[in-house]
Amino acid sequence: MQTELVISLDNVDVYQKDHLVLGQVNLHIRRGEFVYLIGNTGSGKSSLIKTIYGELFIHHGDGLVAGYRLSTLKDKDIPFLRRKLGIVHQDFQLLGDRNVYENLIFVLKATGWKVLADIEARIREVLDTVGLVNTLNKMPHELSGGEQQRLVIARAMLNHPEIILADEPTGHLDPEMSIEIMNTLINISKAGTAILMATHNYGIINRFPQRVVRCQGGKVLETEPA
């Protein structure tokens, strides 16, 4: 059903300044769906993700993301759109001078959470989901690479996002850690959160087959795992 769509792009042109990066993009992702986004460097993957979270505005076509219409999105609405999205970076972007608890409470307070009991319950809930419930007082540098990435995923989940945008989440991890992260993301999608994951790792795609879309030649194309 149409109401299940959390990302709906119809004939969207994606620009970087005056340069057309992707033309006539049609992309539809449903609640709980896991989709890989592939393509060579410079093919438009990052521009597409930036369009979805409102950093790049669309001038042609129609886009609806988590209930927000991108073509009429106002600056004041962008923070509210982003609260419905979780963003997972490959370089973690954790606050190195704060422990796990402080990294997460910072996000919740910045996004309007007030009641301490609710804040603490949500922090424990997301840490339990990613298997880090016993790390509350650890500093980021005390965590392994895989644990840091799981913390980033926990942070992305704090505001009950409808969509997680994961940009090369296994890019800096060894194969064993990568498998842990993939299992975590797939379990999150099965619980109802859509995942759009940009990756160059075809081994991961083949081990965890899901729908694949490719940025190529200025287009976004449905494809199959290599």
**4 and 21 in one domain?**
yes
119 is a domain residue: yes
Please, which pLDDT band fits residue 224 given cuts at 50, 70 and 90? low
- Is 209 part of any domain? yes
Q: pLDDT-based confidence at 222, cuts 50/70/90? A: confident
Query: For the chain, what is the mean pLDDT?
Result: 92
Does residue 153 lie within any of the structural domains? yes
pLDDT of residue 137: 95
- Coil, helix or strand for 92? coil
- In-domain check, residue 14: yes
For residues 76 and 173, membership in a common domain is answered with yes
- 210 close to 36: Cβ distance less than 8 angstroms: yes
Q: Within this chain, do residues 166 and 79 fall inside the same structural domain, yes or no?
A: yes
Confidence at residue 92, expressed as pLDDT on a 0 to 100 scale: 79
- pLDDT(225) > 60: no
**78 within a domain of the structure (yes/no):** yes
- pLDDT tens readout for residues 117-174: 999 999 999 999 999 999 999 999 999 988 999 999 999 999 999 999 998 898 888 8
Q: Is it the case that residue 113 has pLDDT exceeding 70? A: yes
Residue 187 covered by a domain:
no
- The CATH number covering residue 78 comes to 3.40.50.300
At residue 78, the pLDDT reads 93
Considering the domain architecture, whether residues 64 and 171 belong to the same structural domain is answered as yes
Phi, psi of 26 (to 5 degrees): -125, 115
Residue 188 falls within a domain, yes or no?
Answer: no
The answer to the question of residue 186 being in a domain is: no
pLDDT tens digits for range 35-63: 999 999 889 998 999 999 999 988 899 99
pLDDT of the residue at 57: 87
pLDDT digits (tens, 9 = 90+) for 65-78: 999 999 899 999 99
100 and 145 share a domain?
yes
Average pLDDT over residues 98-102: 96
Domain of 38, in residue numbers: 1-84+162-177+193-226
The beta strands (E) that lie in the chain are given as: 5-16, 19-30, 34-38, 62-65, 68-69, 85-88, 163-167, 194-198, 211-216, 219-223
Same domain (yes/no): 74, 9: yes
pLDDT bin (cut points 50, 70, 90) of residue 91 is confident
Quick one: pLDDT at residue 7?
97
Tell me how far apart the alpha carbons of residues 62 and 64 are, in angstroms, rounded to a whole number.
Answer: 7
Q: Note whether 77 and 168 are same-domain residues.
A: yes
Same domain, 217 and 109: no
What CA–CA distances, in Å, run from 206 to 97, 149, 174?
A: 38, 21, 17
Strand partners, 78: none
Tell me, yes or no, whether 225 and 211 share the same domain.
yes
Q: Are residues 221 and 115 in the same domain?
A: no
The residue out of 160, 185, 203 marking a domain boundary is 160
- The percent of residues in the chain predicted with pLDDT above 90, rounded, is 79
Q: What is the pLDDT of residue 1?
A: 41
pLDDT at position 34:
97
Instruction: State how many domains the chain has.
Output: 2
Q: Are residues 80 and 13 in the same domain?
A: yes
pTM: 0.91
Whether residues 7 and 75 fall in one domain = yes
